[in-house]
Amino acid sequence: MRPTTRAAEPPGRDPELRRGGVSGTRRSRPKFTREAATRLWLHRQGLDRPRGSSPLDASTFADHLERTGALQLDSVNVVDRAHYLTLWSRFGSYDRADVNRWVYRDRLAYEYWGHEASILPISHLPLGRRRMRRFPPESWSGRAWWSRYATSTASKRRVLRRLRAEGPLESVDFQPQPAERDERTDSLAWRLKEDKRSLKLLWHDGRVAVVERRHFRCVYDVAERVYADGPAATLAQYHDSWLLIGLSGCGIAPERHLVNYFTGPELNAAERRRTIARNLRRKRIVEVEVEGLRGPCYALPEHLDGIDRLPEPAGTTLICPFDSLLWQRRRAAEFLDFSYTVEIYVPAAKRKYGYYVLPILHEGRLVGRLDPKLHRDRGVLEIRALHLEADFAPTARFEAGLDDAVADLADFLGADDIAMPPNG
């Protein structure tokens, strides 16, 4: 990738920047092309090289969590669970039992709130403990839904007594109390019975932990039987994690691209500004500019040292709707010119692309979308539709890469056959 002016300058770096001139001041703020910032982003996400270039093992699994911050969990299973698909996009086929073992037996990671419900690196447990101690967040107080969801102290005590006496339990093990059997509410979401809600709230406040999953159902136990005792992060460290984890996963980003990336800490605008200013003063981050992008951007200085040596992105893969690459969809629009909406919750008649659409990443660009469905009873991976971006002209290399990605996905899902759309 060439710089916009003067070929003698390092690729991706603005010619006004002198090598090594990293500063948080506006006068000497480093400048980068959007292409260079995108290369760094894809590199931090592990999506800058062909799928399967590195095998998924305990080390690469832990490294992925540290770099991106989390693996989002989601119950939709029309293709596969979100965390399994996210790893497949980078590492290709692997044994899901290995991931389960690393999380629930070896404790390389733990389940908690990162970007929504997530698998987080165990090194971040002190950050989780800070949220646990501050739960519920201040932003929840006074809201009507919270007053209806919150549970009594007696209910929480009942749940803890049962877990201590009986050991790990699922939410289905908690039957409604007699007084609740005739309970009526105006929404299905609020029909959760009190002790089941207490189980989830105790997970949020850290007294209960997920010890394993059975067919994706959470199995809970008291936290002291799951995690070793340890400290909680300070409030400043907790606030810093919003910024530092976001920049670890994004590389270079303006504040608006970090707002919805790591959602454990719920910082308001003033808290975000103070967190950025504090880390600029401490030189943990630097302020930079990106060509064509509005406003100042930020980066960890150690990530900028090798930005000029990053290779062009390579390979073709499919991206899960809940992949960390898409956590901030405004970023995908501004960096990759790709507008994406998860249409699971859109009425079928109003969907533009499909129910569980996987964006197609080809050589560093999001060039289209697949609408797949796994028919487990027939062993068939059906591709219902293929949509390419209007300005993308497919090449033989793209078509070969897409065919390989679909075939590898089918193999990973255990499908014996692939059904392509009529025009596929």
**302 and 325, same domain (yes or no):** no
pLDDT at res. 141: 80
Residue 163 lies in a domain: no
pLDDT reported for residue 49? 97
Residue 21 confidence (pLDDT): 30
Using CB atoms within 10 A of its CB, is residue 224 exposed (0-12), middle (13-18) or buried (19+)? exposed
Q: How far is Cα 211 from Cα 26, in angstroms, rounded to an integer?
A: 49
Answer yes or no: do 294 and 369 share one domain: no
Tokens in use for 26? Answer: 């506006």
| 347 and 267 together in one domain | no
Confirm whether 293 is domain-assigned: yes
Q: Where are the beta strands (DSSP E) in 190-285?
A: 208-214, 217-222, 252-253
> Domain end: 269, 291, 308, which one?
308
What does the pLDDT read at residue 184? 53
Domain that holds residue 241: 234-308
| List of the chain residues with pLDDT < 50 | 1-11, 13-25, 185-191
Residue at token pair 């965390």:
83
pLDDT at 174: 84
Q: Based on the structure, what is the number of domains in the chain?
A: 2
Q: How confident is the model at residue 19, as a pLDDT?
A: 33
Calpha distance 174→180 (Å, rounded): 12
Pick the closest to residue 44 from 261, 341, 260 (CA basis): 261
pLDDT at 138: 84
Separation between Cα atoms, residue 222 and residue 281, nearest integer Å: 41
Element counts in the chain: helices (H) and strands (E): 14, 14
Same domain membership, residue 364 and residue 271: no
Burial 366-377 (b: 16+ CB within 10 A, else e): bbbbbbbebeee
Q: Which of 276, 308, 340 is the last residue of a domain?
A: 308
Distance CA 31, CA 49 (A): 25
